[in-house]
Amino acid sequence: MKIVNDANCGWLKQLPKRKNINVLKENLKCDYLIIGAGFTGLSAARQLAKIKKNKKVIIIDAQLAGEGASSRNSGYLVDTTLNDGFTSIKDYQDYIKKVKIYEKGVLSVKKFIEEYQVECEWNESGKYFASSQIEDEKKLKDFSKLLSKINYKNEIFYQKELKKKIGTEFYKVALYTHGGILINPAKLVRSMITALPQNVNLFENSTLIKWKKKNRKIYANIDSYEIVSDKIFFCTNGFLKSLGLKKRYNFPLTLTASMTRQLTKKEFETIGKPKEWGVLPVRPMGATVRMTKDQKILIRNTVENKNPNFMNGSELVKNSKYHKIGLKKRFPSLPENIITDTWSGVVCRSGNGSQIFEKIDEDIYVAGCYNGSGIGVGTLFGEQIALMALNQQTDVIKIIEDRKKPNWLPPQPFLNIGINSRLFYERFKAYSEI
């Protein structure tokens, strides 16, 4: 399936266009073949190539490397999550397993940026889980107790304090977590491309058509050409299902985000000149909102069940109207025409919020389904799936394998009916938060 990006990703527009894009134009052989050049695929390639310097690694991507979900998210390096079913003390054991994976993911990214001296607007700002409805205070207090039990520093703030911190009195209550990092995701993934070792060949705009395993070799048809490999790694996240992988355990959702132009000095002053901040919704379908390092505002409040592809212009215009409404609710002093970029991206979900990390057989590996936490977890899983393929059993792999596995999903059309019903219900509940 050929994929064409919508061009107005606010993160990507800040970067210079890459040169020397390689498209596969010949039959090749390699030791390791990686499908997908996002956080997971790039991390796996770097790990394999660094350890096996005499081996040949090939990455292919159906679009430009890193310009799928990796560059199109909100830029949260997630350390804790609220809306994944774990909100009370009784969920303590399951939640701490999940947090351990998040923590390892944060450390994995931090190690990378320190080793390669990466500038990605790293900001250890923490984040807010916020609501405009005071009735959500109980949910946040329950969550606070859970976080405190695992020694995770957190605080509850109310409207007056929130106005000072984030520049809006829209929110009545919020739980602030001291961990959590804000970054520019496009800058981070671009640096991962630059950091690829010399024994890695990256081919872009090159689409996997079909593949098979025969006699301990992987035969992959990429457009009109063939790559023969010893091992294959599927690192396509939201596109796993379209490749026929783990079809009963994951599903894609399409999200849309908008970003404003840089606020003028006067506009920035009218909202109190806040430091960079990030807000996640207490209600699952509410808006994700953040202030960037250069005083732009990002908002995302649309989630749709559709094929894992990017939206056309009319769809983006329609969704940008919701973003405009959301911004006006929060920042009524700002102009209505302040949004300059709107784009879509794909997230991969499981039924219970768990990830896919699996050796299908001796030569086939799959990692993905990050449920919106792909920057850290995706980077971590790429590194660790590579180590697994090299028969290196690490403590991190043990932590990953100790997690809950994705649960079984019903077949179509029942799955779509269930997803659409749930999205409708959650959107109705979160109407005030959009």
Amino acid letter for position 25: K
Structural domains for the chain:
12-71+187-250+353-418 (3.50.50.60)
Residues 201 and 57 sit within 8 Å (Cβ to Cβ) = yes
Looking at 20-175, list the stretches that DSSP marks H as alpha helix, in order from N- to C-terminal side: 39-51, 69-72, 92-115, 137-149, 159-166
145-161 pLDDT, tens digit per residue, is 999 988 999 999 999 99
Residues 347 and 70 sit within 8 Å (Cβ to Cβ) = no
Q: Which two tokens stand for residue 85?
A: 């079913």
Q: What are phi and psi of 302, to 5 degrees?
A: -125, 130
Each of the 434 residues of the chain gets a pLDDT tens digit; together they read 444 557 789 999 999 999 889 999 999 999 999 999 999 999 999 999 999 999 999 999 999 999 999 999 999 999 999 877 666 677 788 888 999 999 999 999 999 999 999 999 999 999 999 999 999 999 999 999 999 988 999 999 999 999 999 999 999 999 999 988 999 999 999 999 999 999 999 999 999 999 999 999 999 999 999 999 999 999 999 888 888 889 899 999 999 999 999 999 999 999 999 999 999 999 999 999 999 999 999 999 989 998 766 678 888 999 999 999 999 999 999 998 999 999 999 999 999 989 999 999 999 999 999 999 999 999 999 999 999 999 999 999 999 999 989 999 999 999 999 999 999 999 999 999 99
pTM: 0.95
Who contacts 393 (Cβ-Cβ below 8 Å, separation ≥6)?
A: none
- d(CA 239, CA 232) in angstroms, rounded, equals 16
Helices (H) and strands (E) in the chain, counts: 11, 18
Bridge partners, 35 (sequence order) = 60, 234
The DSSP 8-state label assigned to residue 16 in this structure reads P
Nearest C-alpha neighbor of 76 from the set 130, 154, 128: 128
What is the radius of gyration, based on Cα positions, of the chain?
21
CA-to-CA separations, 66 to 38, 189, 386, 390, in angstroms, rounded: 5, 6, 19, 25
Q: DSSP 3-state assignment of 85?
A: coil
103-149 pLDDT, tens digit per residue, is 999 999 999 999 999 999 999 999 999 999 999 999 999 999 999 98
Q: What are phi and psi of 53, to 5 degrees?
A: -65, -20
